[in-house]
Amino acid sequence: MTASSPGMAAQQLHLPELPLREIMDGLSPSIFVGLLTPDGKLVYANRPALEVVGGRLEDLIGQDFAATPWWNHSESARRRLHAAIGLACSGVASRFDKATQDCRGNLITTDFSLLPLFDADGSVVYLIASGRDVTERQQAQRALRLTQFAVDHAHDAMFKVRADGRLRYVNDAACRLIGQSRDTLLGVPIHEICMQITATAWPLQWSELKARGSLHFASRLRQSSGREIPVDVSVSFLEYEGEEISFVYARDLSERVAAQERLRHLGSHDMLTGLPTRALLRSQLEQALLVAERFDSDLALMCVGLDRLKRVNATLGHGAGDEVLRVTAERIGACLRKADTLSRIGGDEFVVLMPADAQAALSHVAQRILSAVAQPVAVETREVFITCSIGAVVAPGDDTDIDGLLKKASAALGRAKSRGGNALHLHTRDIASQEPERLALESGLRKALARSELHLHYQPQVDLRDGSMVGVEALLRWQHPEFGNVSPAHFIPIAEETGLILPIGDWVLRTACETAAGWQRMGLAPVRMSVNLSPRQLQQDDLARRIETILIDTGVAPQHFGVEVTESTLIDNFEHAARTLGQLRALGIEIALDDFGTGYSSLGYLRRLPIDVVKVDRSLVPDVAAPSEDVSITRAIITMAHSLHMKVIAEGVESEGQLAMLVANQCDLIQGYYFSRPVSADQIEGMLIDAKRLPAALLDGALRSRTLLIVDPECSVIAALRRLLSRDGYHILSAENGAEALQRLAEHPIDVIISEQRMPGMSGVEFLRRAKALCPRAMRILLSGHLELESIAEAINEGAISKFLTKPWDERSLRAHVEESFRHKDMLDERRRVEVEVQAANRELVHLNERHLQVLQTQRDQMQRDQMGWAMAQDLLDNIPAALIGFDDAGTVAFMNSDARHLFGSPAELHGRHASQLFNAALLDVWTARDGVRHVVTIGSRRYQAVCRPLKESAHAQRRLLALTPFNGSQALA
């Protein structure tokens, strides 16, 4: 089909007749009609169309349609028109939306179409342009799209629900909230999501909604994960085009609820540990009391207080203290039963509430807490040792009100603490009756000294190098007329609290020194006397001077005297304690740190103090049967103390096993029941006379035969090995299992061990591992027919086994291996011996050096004081209104004050001059007379009163002082 020319078409086709035009013009104002020639010239436009552009037909007719005002708005619309004209000429209709700016400047959108009009031949003769104003429709659509967008992207979840309860629409927020895609959610019944709605109640709920028009309630929505989230729900009902629908808006409240929860939690929980605080504890306790009453059950309240947290704060800072608290809270929590609750009610106080079956479980739980808290706490690179005390009360007891119970638990805690801590004290009904006992002790203690109820016992301290007794510790004993022997652990705290410790402490110091002096007078080998000092004693400003006086009075040399202080003594007033200990050290007194390991125990921190000896508390002195970690702790303390040039005494050594472990780990001294209990002075005297000592066989490096231990469950194997190896002259011991072998190790110094792997109870590897911890230098050979390669390889790697040999053995090779092991052991022993000697020499050197520095410092201080004193005296003399001249033994000028300098000239001229070179005859007479009588002399033209006296305090009688004061004649001469 080709387009005909317009001219031709005009001739062939009649223009629309008038009625048709009228019809066109009379169309709705929103319907526009026009006619174009195929080449796009306007032939006709109806009135509504003309009104849009405010033009007249005769002005526009024949114009290129694309250039008429209908197309003035956009270039792209014009391009689309040209394309449409092209298409229409080829017989194809076009339709598109276009925008036109009307004559009033409004933008109207037209649904425009261009259709070809064909003649009878099928040629395009005209193009019919028609348009419909769709501005409103389009605006409505836009608004709808916007609304849809807004709904889709709304923050709150929205669901469209029909009467059948199924979801017909969900927005993005709803998908997110439920955690499902839109496709999955559509069609799902609302009751599967909303907890407030049930399938059976839905029809009723729908009716209610219809009746009320809208609903508002709080509910929970179930997420796909099953989690429920709190929501605020608004539902509105709508009837639209005959359809009943509801829109459900749900606002996620989980954050708000969580925030409220957090706030509530913060108000009732401790920030540091996250535990409930006192307020919450009270309500928990209230509930528990009600329950206990209703079910006639009991409950217990435990007050757990950390012992000496203050010291951790003071020495390591509050960060460390916080860490200790956090860890402690966790550890206590882990010791509790399911129903028990834990709260933190103060700086270092926790409360455990055991709501049921409390009495039976109480002591078990308390013991677990005590030992859990006593484990070291790692704070950065350090280990902090802290313990706790527990005060407990069981309800219903003598009263059941909350405050009463808390008070009783707290009082019981105080009692546990006052007895040294790390213990449980249970409040009992008759706790009050214990007060009188305490009062009786207190008043008894006041009289104890005067009534001679106090006396001292002495416990030997033994040197592990040669087993000899090198010292004793004085331990106070009180024989109470009524209570009998009262333990110092019981009465020393009372003495400390009441201040009675000061007179008692003085008595102890003097009595101990007198006893030591008595032994010396008897010609016994001098041993060091050690005395315990309490915190109050150490706070005395003049303690060093008091002790020095006692030592001088009794004639005990400072190097034969020592003091023992505990960490708590030091930490309560660190600077002061350090100063006093420094003064004692300067006197040559040995300072020991007592009970090391029970308190905060950082040797690094203690190195700032002048400590000579660390006394390892007996809780850290393990036996042979102890796990190897325990031995490692002791060994670490010993090594560390040695590196700080301190000696180590192990306290509370009761068994051969402990002794063997300590000898093998290079402990320097021991004290404990194994050697002797604390005994009277007379008994010590006996021991000194007998030169009691540890058997040499138990000591290291003693001259003894090479000892071999064979461990095998088969007697025949032991016998065969004995036969074979006894040829080489070894002293041979044997054991049939690990436990027995450990016992042998405790009893005898062993050089080489041969052990089978497969044994009842403990495997060979495990036994050798423990043997290594106990006696690190003993050589350990595993001789086994059983190849348990993995565990053996592990043991070899960690050094628990020095050799691994297989059964059956080759005799020559086994003997060679054993011999080599003994040689290696000899070498280690020799190295250790040298090490010990070097260590001792070093220690001595360090101490000498320190003492030397201390003496120098004391001298320097004295000189400084002298200088200051002299300067002050000079000042004073200069201000006396008289001329003063001092002479030395030779009669030469030693000093003169300012008036004297005015009178006789500058000191430079006069210093060292003899009196005879300075004075006239009259003055020289006075000088020579040295009689203290006032004489009148004339110097120059003035008269003076002159007095010369010998310097009385001086041992040198020739020294004298001459004083000259102006004389005005009326003064009376003395």
User: Binds 916, which of Mg ion, ligand C2E, none (CB < 5 to 8 A, cut-off by type)?
Assistant: none
State the nearest-atom distance from the C-beta of 648 to Mg ion, in Å: 13
| 534: partner contacted, choices ligand C2E, Mg ion, none (Cβ within 5-8 A by kind) | ligand C2E
Q: Among Mg ion, ligand C2E, none, what binds residue 120 when CB lies within 5 to 8 Å by partner kind?
A: none
- Contact by Cβ (8 Å): 782, 804: yes
Binding letters toward Mg ion, positions 626-665, x by CB under 5 A: -------------------------x--------------
Identify which of residues 488 and 776 has a Cβ nearer to ligand C2E in the complex.
Answer: 488
Binding mask 480-519 for Mg ion (x = CB under 5 A): ----------------------------------------
DSSP string, 463-528: ETTT-BEEEEEEEEEEEETTTEEEPHHHHHHHHHHHTTHHHHHHHHHHHHHHHHHHHHHTTPPP-E
Phi, psi of 591 (to 5 degrees): -110, 125
Q: How far apart are CA 747 and CA 749, in angstroms?
A: 7
- Binders of Mg ion: how many residues, by CB under 5 A? 5
CB of 673: closest distance to ligand C2E in angstroms?
4
590 contacts Mg ion (rule: CB under 5 A): no
Taking the least distance from each CB to ligand C2E, the nearer of 133 and 564 is 564
Partner interacting with residue 569 (select from ligand C2E, Mg ion, none; CB below 5-8 Å by kind): none
Beta strands 167-170 and 960-966, pairing class: unpaired
Residue 778: CB minimum distance to ligand C2E, A? 25
Laid out side by side, the sheet with 167-170 consists of 167-170, 157-162, 243-252, 228-240, 214-222
Closest by Cα among 899, 897, 944 to 920: 944
Task: Provide, rounded to whole angstroms, the least separation between the CB of residue 501 and ligand C2E.
Answer: 6
The interface partner of residue 654, options being ligand C2E, Mg ion, none and the CB cut-off 5 to 8 Å by kind, is ligand C2E
Contact 755, 731 (CB under 8 A): no
Residue 594 is a binding residue for Mg ion (CB under 5 A): yes
Task: Select 485 or 797, whichever has its Cβ closest to ligand C2E.
Answer: 485
The contact pattern for Mg ion, residues 763-792, with x = CB under 5 A and - = no contact, is ------------------------------
User: Applying CB under 6 A, which residues contact ligand C2E?
Assistant: 459, 475-476, 487-489, 492, 508, 532, 534, 564, 594-595, 618, 651-654, 671-673, 678
Q: Report how far residue 926's alpha carbon sits from residue 349's, in angstroms, rounded to the nearest whole number.
A: 82
Burial class (CB in 10 A: 0-12, 13-18, 19+), 31: middle
Q: Among candidates 370, 371, 354, which has minimal Cα distance to 417?
A: 370
Q: Give the CA radius of gyration of the chain.
A: 54
- Residue 464 CB, nearest approach to Mg ion (Å): 18
Smallest separation, CB 650 to ligand C2E (Å): 10
**Rounded least distance, CB 274 to Mg ion, Å:** 38
Distances (CA, A) of 110 to 131, 138, 387: 6, 10, 89
Q: Which residues contact 858 (CB under 8 A, 6 or more apart)?
A: 586
> C-beta of 710: minimal distance to ligand C2E in Å?
32
Residue 492's binding partner out of ligand C2E, Mg ion, none, with CB under 5 to 8 Å set by partner kind:
ligand C2E
How far apart, in whole angstroms, are the C-alpha atoms of residue 382 and residue 766?
Answer: 29
Closer by beta carbon to Mg ion, 233 or else 565: 565
Classify residue 853 as exposed, middle or buried by CB count within 10 Å of its CB (0-12, 13-18, 19+).
exposed
Among 341, 532, 554, 676, binds Mg ion (CB under 5 A): 532
Contacts of 290 (CB under 8 A, 6+ apart): none
Q: Which CB sits closer to ligand C2E, 30 or 619?
A: 619
Q: Does 595 bind Mg ion (CB under 5 A)?
A: yes
Encoded amino acid at 576, one letter: H
Enter the tokens of residue 371: 């030992």
Residue number with CB closer to Mg ion (650 or 818): 650
Does residue 851 contact residue 585 with C-beta atoms inside 8 Å? yes
Nearest C-alpha neighbor of 347 from the set 384, 310, 373, 372 = 310
Task: Please tell me whether residue 298 binds Mg ion under the rule CB under 5 A.
Answer: no
The one segment of 44-52, 258-266, 461-469, 591-599 that binds Mg ion by CB under 5 A = 591-599
Indicate the residue among 94 and 532 with the shorter CB distance to Mg ion: 532
Q: How far is the CB of 413 from Mg ion (least distance, A)?
A: 24
Kindly state the smallest distance separating residue 663's Cβ from ligand C2E, in Å: 16
Tell me if 270 contacts Mg ion by CB under 5 A.
no
Which of ligand C2E, Mg ion, none sits in contact with 488, Cβ below 5 to 8 A by type?
ligand C2E
Residue number closest to ligand C2E, CB atom: 672
**387 versus 671: smaller Cβ distance to ligand C2E:** 671
Q: Provide, rounded to whole angstroms, the least separation between the CB of residue 488 and ligand C2E.
A: 4
Tell which one of 564, 567, 712, 751 touches Mg ion (CB under 5 A): 564
Minimum gap (Å) between residue 576 Cβ and ligand C2E: 17
Backbone angles phi, psi at 69, to 5 degrees: -60, -20
Tokens 């006075």 sit on residue: 926
783 makes contact, choosing from ligand C2E, Mg ion, none, with CB < 5 to 8 Å by partner type, with none
- In the DSSP assignment, the letter for residue 844 is H
Contacts 24+ apart (CB under 8 A), 237-242: 237/209, 237/210, 237/212, 237/213
Binding site for Mg ion (CB under 5 A): 532, 564, 594-595, 651
